[in-house]
């Protein structure tokens, strides 16, 4: 089955610790994205990557870091510098050319930092 | 910067009835895509329908259709014969095609929570 997997579904961390959220896709998509969802805020873009070994900051990149060493994988690290890390995180992917512009989403990871 | 506005935080509809969700957007671009995504309680984002701005014909997917008014920058979603499984948060999203390196990003509205009453 083709799709996007995010693990784990729920993640708990103590304040001051870095934590890495996993995102893997087998859709052969070039582009991958990380969004943060808070109640009443919709989805906000954290980082995106159009090709391997390249990524750009989105609208709320402060306190986050990413890597794109493989086409299939785009892990997100929430660092201790992120002031309000508790949120629902969604990973997405898409083709980067042609007419297929829609993004496909993973099931999300709920991160709680106490 | 593009913005997407969904002016209805919550809507409700009776089962089998029709409901329309509103979305407006602001852009200076001439070429772009618009999307409606559904997020049920499972929180999985599901694409409902998409519209290319250069197409005048409104997109339709089974019970879901849009009313795309480019000049007014309006993109409403109509759900016909509403079913209990349609209950979800619905997000309108914009993707520009003229913005160079940033033309892959989606800009989302804040969502409309749809309740379907039996």
What are the backbone dihedrals phi and psi of residue A97, each rounded to the nearest 5 degrees, phi first?
-150, 170
Closest Cβ–Cβ partner in A40, A92, A103 for B110: A40
CA distance A71 to A32: 9
Tens digit of each residue's pLDDT (9 = 90 or more) over B17-66? 999 999 999 998 888 899 999 999 999 999 999 999 888 899 999 999 99
Does the distance separating the beta carbons of A50 and B104 come in below 8 Å? yes
Q: Strand (E) positions, B18-103?
A: 19-21, 24-26, 32-39, 46-52, 60-61, 64-69, 74-79, 88-96
Closest Cβ–Cβ partner in B97, B104, B110 for A94: B104
Does the distance separating the beta carbons of A101 and B50 come in below 8 Å? yes
User: What is the per-residue pLDDT for A111?
Assistant: 96
CA distance A35 to chain B (A): 10
Q: Strand (E) positions, chain A?
A: 4-7, 10-13, 19-25, 31-38, 42-51, 54-57, 64-66, 76-78, 87-94, 104-105, 109-113
Does the distance separating the beta carbons of B35 and A105 come in below 8 Å? no
User: What is the per-residue pLDDT for B97?
Assistant: 75
CA distance B103 to A67: 20
Q: Which B-chain residues 20-79 have CB contacts (< 8 A) with chain A?
A: 33, 35, 37, 42-47, 50
Q: Name the CA dihedral angle for B96, B98, B101, B106, rounded to a multiple of 10 degrees.
A: 0
Q: Are B89 and B38 in contact (CB under 8 A)?
A: yes
Mean pLDDT of B69-96: 96
Give the residue on A whose Cα is nearest the Cα of B49. Answer: A102
- Taking the Cβ of residue A45 and every Cβ of chain B, the question of whether any pair is shorter than 8 Å is answered with yes
Mean pLDDT of A106-114: 95
End-to-end CA distance of chain B: 41
Q: Which residues pair with A70 in a beta bridge?
A: A73
Q: Which residues of A touch B44 (CB under 8 A)?
A: 105, 107-108
Tens digit of each residue's pLDDT (9 = 90 or more) over A20-77? 999 999 999 999 999 999 987 889 999 999 889 999 999 999 999 999 999 999 999 9
Tens digit of each residue's pLDDT (9 = 90 or more) over B67-81? 999 999 999 999 999
- Taking the Cβ of residue A107 and every Cβ of chain B, the question of whether any pair is shorter than 8 Å is answered with yes
**How many angstroms from the chain centroid is the CA of residue A11?**
14
User: What is the per-residue pLDDT for B99?
Assistant: 53
């Amino acid at each position: 089955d083709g799709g996007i997997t995010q693990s784990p579904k729920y993640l708990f961390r103590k304040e001051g610790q870095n934590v890495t959220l996993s995102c893997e896709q087998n859709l052969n998509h070039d582009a991958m994205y990380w969004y943060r969802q808070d109640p009443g805020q919709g989805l906000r873009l954290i980082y995106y990557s159009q090709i391997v070994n390249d990524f750009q900051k989105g609208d709320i990149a402060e306190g986050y870091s990413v890597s794109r060493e493989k086409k299939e994988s785009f892990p997100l690290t929430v660092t201790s510098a992120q002031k309000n890390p508790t949120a629902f995180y969604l990973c997405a992917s898409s083709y980067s050319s042609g007419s297929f512009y829609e993004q496909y989403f993973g099931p999300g990871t709920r991160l709680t930092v106490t | 910067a593009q913005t997407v506005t969904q002016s209805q935080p919550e809507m409700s509809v009776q089962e089998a009835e029709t409901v329309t969700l509103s979305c407006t957007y602001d852009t200076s671009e001439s070429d772009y895509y618009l999307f409606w995504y559904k997020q049920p309680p499972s929180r999985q984002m599901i694409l409902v329908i998409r519209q290319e701005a250069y197409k005048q014909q409104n997109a339709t997917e089974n019970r879901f259709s849009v009313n795309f008014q480019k000049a007014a920058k309006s993109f409403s979603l109509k759900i016909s014969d509403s079913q209990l499984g349609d209950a979800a948060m619905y997000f309108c999203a914009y993707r520009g095609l003229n913005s160079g390196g940033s033309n892959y990003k989606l800009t989302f509205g804040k969502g409309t929570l749809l309740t379907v009453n039996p």
